[in-house]
Structures are given as structure tokens and as C-alpha cells.
Amino acid sequence: MRVLVTGGAGFIGSHVVDALVAAGDEVRILDALLPAVHRTKPQVNNAAEMIVGDVTDRDQVAEALSGIDVVCHQAAMVGLGVDLDDLPAYATNNDLGTAVLLAAMARAGVGRLVLASSMVVYGEGGYRCPTDGPVRPGPRQAAELDAGRFEPPCPRCHRPLAPIVVHEDAPLDPRNAYAATKVAQEHLAAAWAAETGGTAVALRYHNVYGPRMPRDTPYAGVASIFRSALEHGRAPRVFEDGRQLRDFVHVHDVARANLLASGQPQAPGRLVPLNIGSGDPHTVGDMADALARAFGGPRPVVTGTSRVGDVRHIAASSARAGDLLGYRPRVDFAEGMRAFAHDPLRD
């Protein structure tokens, strides 16, 4: 199988490349090597063909698609962002880039897509009210957060809610610029599949961590930010009260999910979304504490502060990925955090 991995020099993409190469696939990488992401020249798998090019460039994308059977589309601008000035960059890299890629795939007759999506498309995760059953809370209010009331109440009776795992049929409710572009990517891929009869799988990654994460940047994941703080002798600073629930999934499991999805086309003509998580949610505070203990650094500091665009709880049910792909996470939380405390990060 001949696979194009866009963003294949990046954190997740490089592990996807490794998994595909190890499985015997022919792999080509298309990566722009943007300085904001790659401060130094990244090392990529020697068995993969490397094309330095931008996914928004029609000619470069057409060249990269020559002879390809399936595309793993990892190229994206990630993270919560700094402010609304980031909107054009998110829309360009994520949505225009995806549109250029899909149009080129249609012209080239490449009919299989694995899209790197994200749990951010859901906004808040799943919740259950003891009175009203499953509910979807609205956006959290700044005044409530400033007062230290971090838990969203039931939108009907205002009673406290219990978080539950989120399934793929949950409504999409993006709450920041990055999330909005990931929803748009899914919609573009769904339109492409419907018009071409192609197969598209959107892997909704939950909180991915592991070796080759970028060091501390405004766009890095929380695990990388905490690890970078520890390397500088600083305590990880945890927002809110540290009890936000997340599903931390190791990058090796995410790479294997891509390998499984690339080799198993799903329903022609539509997009199939799949959660990719660990199935073992933990609080952000627990993660910071486990990482600090494994690193041997200062204990985390809970700040009580919050960020606009953050959600309170979100944890995955990956049962559908298990049923359709045979996906089963292999790296448990304790093992993963012990390793990540000393894994090499990317400059």
C-alpha cells in the first residue's frame, strides 16, 4: 500500500510514518517544515520519501499524490491558540489546506482518506443530570469561572452534573478557533466522500502525548507544557482546580489507529468518525502530579485561573474504533507517564 502522510515530519505524523513503514507500506511525506513548528530540522524515517511542500499549494499536493492509494492527513495548526489574530492561520492551514488536498485527491482518483480530527469538535464532553438525564451544558460563563465555580450546571434545572464518556454521535459544539477548523475539516471530508464515493475516517484524537512532542510553545499540548516546565525546574501550573477530566492517549496508540484505519476502508460515500482515546480518563491535576513524580521535579501548583475556550470535562468512548478497526490502546496511564517524563521532546 502506498500512503501519503501530510504533516509526516510532525509529532503525531512522524509516529504514523514509523508505524506504516514497520508494516511494510510505501510511505511518502508532505510537510512544509514551518519554522513555527520545526525550530530545527526534524529527523524522519529514512525509509519514507520526503517532499518539502505546503498542503495549500495545488501543484505540490498534486506531485505528492502521484501513485498514492490512501492519504493520512495529519498536517494542521494545533492547540488552543494565542488570540483571535490566529484565526486566519488556523483557517488557512487547516481548512484551506484540507480543501486543496481533497480537490487534488478527486482529480487524481485517490479515494481513501484518514483524517486527523480531534475531541475538540465536541466542545464539552458528555454529562448526566440526576433529574434530567443526559444533557449538553452551554458555554461556561466568565463570571462563574472567575468566582471559582468551574463545574457547568444542568442547563434545565441547574443542578450539578456528572461527567460521562462522549460517543461519536454527540453534537458538535466547537468552542475555539482550532475546534471550529477541525469541524470544518470533517465537513469538507464528508462532502468529498459523498461526491466521489470515497471512504473517509475521521480519527478524533483525545489528549495525545509521548516522545517527539514539541517543547513549550503557545500551541503545545498540556502534557508538553508541564514537561517543559519540569525541565526548567519549574512546577507545572494547573488551571482551574485541577479536576478537569481528560483522556490522555499515547502517541504509539494513535499511530496504530492510523495504521488500522488506512488498511480498512469504511463505508463508501460518507465520513466515519471514531474516537481514539485510552479508555482510562484522569484529571489534569493527576496527570501533572504523575509526571512530576516520574520526572523528580517540583510538585504541581493549582492556580485557580482559567482560559477562555477551555472545556471542563471530556473523556472518550473508543468502543466504535474497537468494533470497526480492532483498535485497543496498549499503553496505560502510569506506564506512559513514567516514560514521557524522560522521552525526547522536539525543539
Q: What is the pLDDT of residue 310?
A: 87
pLDDT tens for each residue of 21-45:
999 999 999 999 887 677 777 889 9
List pLDDT tens digits, range 253-277.
Answer: 999 999 999 999 999 999 999 999 9
Residue 203 is inside which H or E element, if any?
strand 199-205
Closest CA to 113 of 126, 121, 104: 104
Note the maximum CA span of the chain.
58
- Cβ atoms of 242 and 285 within 8 Å: the answer is yes
- Is residue 274 situated within a structural domain? yes
Q: What is the pLDDT of residue 40?
A: 75
- Within a domain: residue 160? no
Let me know if residue 318 belongs to a domain: yes
Q: Is 133 a member of any domain?
A: no
Is pLDDT of 286 > 90?
yes
- Rounded average pLDDT over 59-69: 98
Task: Indicate if the pLDDT at residue 10 is higher than 70.
Answer: yes
Mean pLDDT across the stretch 312-322? 96
Lowest mean pLDDT among 82-86, 193-197, 302-306: 82-86
Return the pLDDT at 304: 95
Residues of the chain with pLDDT > 70, as a percent, come to 97
Contact 96, 184 (CB under 8 A): no
CATH of the domain at 176: 3.40.50.720
Of the candidates 217, 16, 89, the residue with the CA atom closest to the CA atom of residue 30 = 16
Render pLDDT for 206-241 as a digit per residue (tens, 0 to 9).
Answer: 999 999 998 876 667 899 999 999 999 999 999 999
pLDDT score of 81 more than 70: no
Asked if the structure places residue 146 within a domain, the reply is no
Between the two ends of the chain, the Cα-to-Cα distance in Å is 32
Instruction: Look at residue 80 and tell me whether its pLDDT is greater than 90.
Output: no
What dihedral do alpha carbons 85, 90, 92, 95 form, nearest 10°?
-140
Radius of gyration of the chain (CA): 20
CB-hemisphere CA count at 13 Å for 35? Answer: 0
Q: Collapse the DSSP code of 235 into the 3-class scheme (helix H, G, I; strand E, B; otherwise coil) and give the result.
A: coil
* DSSP type of residue 313: B
Average predicted confidence (pLDDT) for the chain: 94
pLDDT at 221: 84
When pLDDT is averaged across residues 85-91 and rounded to a whole number, the result is 88
Domain span holding position 117: 2-125+166-341
Q: Tell me how far apart the alpha carbons of residues 234 and 5 are, in angstroms, rounded to a whole number.
A: 36
- pLDDT reading at 79 higher than 80: no
Q: Where are the extended beta strands (E) located within 32-185?
A: 49-52, 70-73, 112-118, 126-129, 133-135, 162-164
Task: Give the residue-averaged pLDDT of 131-145.
Answer: 92
Instruction: Check: CB of residue 111 under 8 Å from CB of residue 105.
Output: yes
**The pLDDT of residue 82:** 60
Q: How confident is the model at residue 11 (pLDDT cuts 50, 70, 90)?
A: very high
**Comparison of pLDDT for 81 and 150, the residue scoring more:** 150
**Residue 132 covered by a domain:** no
* 85: in domain: yes
The count of domains in the chain is 1
